[in-house]
Amino acid sequence: MDSDPDNWLSDKISSKLIQQHRLEELLYEGKTQYQSVRVARLSSLGVCLVLDGKIQSSERDEFIYHEALVQPAMIAHPCPETVFIAGGGEGATLREALSHKTVKKAVMAEIDSEVTALSVKYLPGLSRGAFKDKRTELHHSDAREFLTKSKEKYDVIIIDLPDPIEEGPACRLFTREFYNIVSDRLTENGLISVQAGSALFPDLLNLTAVNNTLQSVFPIVATCVVNVPTYGGPWGLCFASRKVDPSRLALSEVDKRIASRSLKGLKLYDGLAHQGMFSLPLYLRKALARQRRIITDKNPLYLYGS
């Protein structure tokens, strides 16, 4: 291995694991009002967006995470017309939501306008014109504040945020108080989708605590896992609703809805993948059942401590 640290980018997966990627080119490095940002070309992953030292998206495998985050909730809803996205500055989550012809309006609240601008400049393949879609309503504002003030209801709300770190902007959007706000903004059959963190054993604190916190607000919570090379392995996503359980959708029904909505270009998601994502391993089912931690404003969860 090349010993020159300038030739490698270190990505902290957890307090116990760091991945090293060969760095081909640093395209951008700077600091916004909210976080540090780098855009780097890596031999392993292509061009990547790095926030606060952690890779958020890579051009080569972003479809795995974004299809898994968005499509199960969109497909589970019988006819999603309105979507709200918290975060998702790269525009890939917005892209996946807009792929459904039923969608009439997609509102996105991304606090950091510089992340959006840099993503459009260096990673245009992630948004693929989604920001210019006439159905898109983009706000560079705090998602929690936006939803608190809003009176609009949404069929699907997608929480696509970085992991909660003490100096980052996302920790107040993983709490029970925030999920209560989200619940109030959902339509009757509405669903919430949440980026919930690593499913690597034994680093399960974020995933299991998010699952348990959602269970304190919603009667239905379903957790799935998808393998994302950029994130170092299995990654957890949680879906919650008052009435709709995406984990109970049959393989054939998922494929039927994909066809009826004319979804094109999916690389990860179909009925069989849906079924596999919600088939959790025993260790994770046991960890989810044992967790009692509820994340609150007064007792937030911070990751990546020493």
**Burial track 128-138 (b if 16+ CB lie within 10 A, e otherwise):** bebbebebbeb
Q: Which two tokens stand for residue 57?
A: 């998206």
Q: Which two tokens stand for residue 230?
A: 């950029």
Cβ atoms 110, 87 nearer than 8 A? yes
How far is residue 143's CA from residue 196's CA, in Å, rounded to a whole number?
Answer: 17
Contacts (Cβ under 8 Å, ≥6 apart) of 195: 69, 159, 160, 161, 237
Cis peptide bond prior to 202, omega within 30° of 0? yes
Q: Is the dihedral of CA 116, 190, 163, 24 positive or negative?
A: negative
Active-site residue list: 160
Q: What is the largest CA-CA distance in the chain?
A: 56
How far is residue 197's CA from residue 204's CA, in Å, rounded to a whole number?
Answer: 8
